[in-house]
Structure 1
């Protein structure tokens, strides 16, 4: 179960799990089925084992969805740093855009924030720019829209409505 836990949202493929545990596929499937039943029948466990094609992952049980929604709406979940929000805003308004272009707009290096946003799946690489070095182009993802509760980029405030960049921070709930 520890491997499934640390695999997180990505889960872990059956063959990788079998290799790591050094057991054959049939024994692994039997163990996973036992774990699945154990988690489902344990009334005190808030997690369950699910299989998507050949990938297994631990997820929260559906009956906890209301409580978890309340938790995240209360802002108790992990929040994005101001730097990550700045980078995300730039990408949302200027996509597709390269890291170098983001750095030029911000005046500081942005690779750490970009990595955070990639891991959180709020942005993704979307091709390469046809310039020397062929840098990655970044765009927002469906998770971005879900995270901010919007359906399209048209719902973002118009950039022309800002007198200066400090107002962007105020809109994002920062001071």
Structure 2
């Protein structure tokens, strides 16, 4: 008989990059939330303590998914053969910050905040999987609304948008040197620039 942990792994593998919400796992595995938590914790522990594990189980926004572990990043980059060595421009980093804190937001609204056209850098962020279009605004022309992705959360080590640093933290430092919006979780914009 197949164990519940094996079924959990198979489901998460089959779900791929989208992962599965807790409630769906409870229904599919026919167990309660407490039992699911026990199995998930066991699987996370097994994967995190095995130095040879190439995958990890992460929890993002009420969903669980299997992802490659950080130590396998170089081989995964080679596999996808994306030009990850290309730096994100300063404008792309500005746009990423604006979308993170103001989402959902249109390109025109981003342009208004920055005072310049953002379309090129916006496309770069979409290509990198950090932001995505998510519906249209109920306004003339029905412009696309942009939001950050689960990959954005995963990349910066956040479980939800509620983990983002508070804007007030940056306003308090207005007279000090420039502050990195994503430094608080140990993943900096510099890592994106370096293609890490």
TM interval, short-chain normalised: 0.5 to 0.7
Q: TM-score, normalised on structure 1? A: 0.53
Structure 2 counterpart of 1:66: 71
Structure 2 counterpart of 1:7: none
1:25-174 mapped onto 2 (5 Å cutoff): 66=71, 68=73, 77-163=85-171, 169-172=178-181
Q: Which has the higher contact order (CA 8 A, sep 6+)?
A: 2
- Residue 89 of structure 1: SS of its match in structure 2? helix
Taking the aligned partners of 1:150 and 1:168, their CA distance within structure 2 comes to: 24
- Cα RMSD between the aligned structures? 3.4
Taking the aligned partners of 1:98 and 1:166, their CA distance within structure 2 comes to: 30
Cα distance change on mapping 1:88 and 1:114 into 2, 3 Å: same
Q: TM-score, normalised on structure 2? A: 0.47
Taking the aligned partners of 2:174 and 2:76, their CA distance within structure 1 comes to: 31
5+ residue gaps in structure 2?
Answer: 1-67, 78-83, 182-187, 190-196
Query: Which has the greater radius of gyration?
Result: 1
Deviation string 1:122-153 (CA, Å, 9 cap, x unpaired) is 11111110111110000000111122121111
Figure out how many residues of one structure are paired with residues of the other and give that number: 110
Per-residue deviation, 1:68: 3.2
- Residue 121 of structure 1: SS of its match in structure 2? coil
Taking the aligned partners of 1:168 and 1:140, their CA distance within structure 2 comes to: 26
